[in-house]
Amino acid sequence: MSTQEKMEMDNTKKFNELLNGLEDCTNDEQKQKIKEMNRLIDKMNEYEFISIFTTELFNKMDEMIEDKILSWENAILILKNAGFWKIMKDASGSCFYHTKLNRRFEKMIIDEYKKKEKDEALLADLCECYLTLESRISYDLKSICVPCLVKAGLKKGEDENTQKEVEMAFLALSNFSDEYIVREEIYINKIKMIIKFHQKQHILTRLAYQSVWMFLIFRIGSNTILEKEIANGLHFIREAAKELEELTNCVNWKREKEAVEDGKETKEELIILRWLETLNFCYFACELWSKDYSRLIFSLVHLYRAAKEYSREIRDHCIARIRGAAISRPVEFEDLLNGGAVDLILEEFIQPNADCTQFEQIIMFFGDLSSGLKGKMKNNYDEAKRKDAKRKIFEKMEVEGYEDCITGFRNHIVKDKYGFHFLIKNIEDYFIFC
């Protein structure tokens, strides 16, 4: 058993011991143990989270609540933190939906909402727990949770507690991927108002701002009016580029690689991954962009260079987003050129230490670029501009070393019957050309 596996088993055992130990504690003692449990959650990787938060654990917590062993207040302290890290780590395989605790939450939310004298703070906590642990919700709960969380997100205050409350509300909303919302236009207008206000006053945390954007982007669907507003009124591309640049400069990229490999990314790195995920959705959902694409490409190139030695996940996502831009209809070749994408790809092409996945992504960039240019031809793209783009590519590739490298790899790039590229095994043996 590896050291890492032993640590994961120890964490799982310790968490379960703390949970079992809540039964014989006073309320204050429970809170202290829950703090320890939450510290363990903060350090979990995705595998640990899934192995601990099982159907059995959620059902056990439900029984503890039923038997008055665990108060709602203390249960929420655990579950809000668990939901937070589930979303941040993008942990898959949640089993909360099929548990007794899930049904208890649904009933509690509806009952609290129907009261004449609602406990707004409790209702917001319940909705946050519910939506962070499970995005599949009924029609009735949509009409309760969405307005409740938007209202919670509208709180004003610069103190840390208020900022955390707002952040959690918007994070929960960002997990709501269903396009349809009851009285949708009301909440979309409020979200747009929040974005505009933040752009002037910087009232939100980085995570809250990213979450607001993710919630809004998921609402696009076939709403071309909203799409235009996102592109040209709220300047999504410009804002995404700015946030990626600032986050890239915030991260201490020289920390130990083992921390990344163990799933212990910093909060800033996880926010970066969420921005990259949002950009990926936009490539499919949006066609109307402002003129900020060169800056976005530049920010992706800058992020790639900063992260490539320390975070393979971020590195690969950057290349994927650059590839997506190459085939995106609104993106001009000049955006890729001026943003540094072509230079980056060609530089990486001759690196002797590129792994197979990285190299395959680099190879496929050229195919995507070609497809993008062909697509523009079909859409009456200026033929002169297409030829000029092609000429600039060849000029770049004529730099000493690029042509020989490309020639050396040409016979090792294969297409399967579906037209997808892949590389032969042991591709690293062929880096003698570099």
pLDDT value of position 191: 92
**Dihedral angle, C-alpha 51, 173, 329, 199, nearest 10 °:** -120
pLDDT value of position 207: 97
Closest CA to 219 of 179, 174, 277: 179
User: What are the tokens at 14?
Assistant: 């310790």
Question: Which residues of the chain register pLDDT less than 50?
Answer: 256, 400, 424-434
pLDDT value of position 84: 95
**Residue range 369-378, pLDDT digits in tens:** 777 666 655 5
Cα 287–Cα 293–Cα 295 angle in degrees, nearest 5: 160
Closest CA to 304 of 259, 372, 264, 351: 351
Closest CA to 290 of 210, 244, 336, 230: 230
pLDDT value of position 427: 42
pLDDT value of position 197: 93
Name residue, tokens 């409740």.
148
How many angstroms from the chain centroid is the CA of residue 426? 32
pLDDT value of position 125: 95
Model pTM?
0.86
